Structure formats: structure tokens, C-alpha cells
A = this chain, B = another copy of it.
Amino acid sequence: MRAMTVVAMREEQGPVPLRLVAEMEAISAQYLEQIFMDLRRAKLVNGQRGAKGGYTLTRPAETITAGDVVRAVEGPIKLVDCDHDGGCLRVHVCATRELWNKVSESMRQVMDGATLLDLATWARAKN
């Protein structure tokens, strides 16, 4: 999320190289590469190779939500993995699952309610 915020803040000055993000956020470049791989596969960023290369967003910052970013790197936003839709053997499991589903839903709502533009704006406000 920090990496994407940096990209959102600086992409108008051209592609943002991974090395810059690594320095700004004190994250190892090699670890970041992995993360950008996920982001690229989820089509949230374009990677431009070669000198003067770097990453840019595939869409305007206000159309990419925090939820999109989380889903790209961590998969579906949910607290439980249960495919028995309906007839659970253990009844109490299902009762608690209903709770976890509600929690997951509210997490998604909050995360999908904040865009990269919001994050960039908040970040600038902190300066």
C-alpha cells in the first residue's frame, strides 16, 4: 500500500523506479520486486523496462481502491475460508461464520471506499 501511494504521488513526473520506492519507504528492493509482480499481474501497474523506466498506474488514482491493492497482493479479503455454503455439519461453525462474513464485508467496504488519490492526499497533508 505504501509503495502504491508513492507511485500515485509521483507518476505524473514519469515512471517511478522501484529503487526510489525502496529508498523512500525503507523496504528492500528485492522484496518490493515481488510485490510489484503481483500488482502488475493484477493489472494495477504497468512496468516499463530499461533506462528511465519504472512503474505507472494503469488507471487514474481515483479509480484504484485500497481494496484492489490488498486483493492484488493478498488475495480475497475475508477472515474465513469456508465453501460449505449452507449445510454445515457443525452448526456453531456456521453461526460464527455469519459473524466473520459480516466483519469481512465491513472491511471490504472501508477498503473499497478509499482510493489511491485519497491516500496520496492524506500523505501530502501530513507534510
Nearest residue (CB) in B for A100 is B1
Task: Tell me whether A2 is interfacial, beta carbon within 8 Å.
Answer: yes
A114: Cβ under 8 A from any B Cβ: yes
Within 8 A of B (CB), among A1-27: 1-2, 5-6, 9, 24-26
> Do the beta carbons of B110 and A103 come within 8 Å of each other?
yes
Is B96 in contact with A106, judged by CB distance below 8 angstroms? Answer: no
Contact size range, A: 20 to 34
Q: With an 8 A cutoff between CB atoms, is A95 at the interface? A: yes
Interface stretch among A29-37, A41-49, A50-58, A84-92? A84-92
Q: Please tell me if the beta carbons of A107 and B103 are within 8 angstroms of each other in the complex.
A: yes
CA distance A123 to B119 in the complex (A): 40
Q: Are B111 and A6 in contact (CB under 8 A)?
A: no
Nearest 6 CB-CB pairs, A to B?
Answer: A95-B123, A95-B122, A106-B106, A1-B96, A2-B92, A5-B92
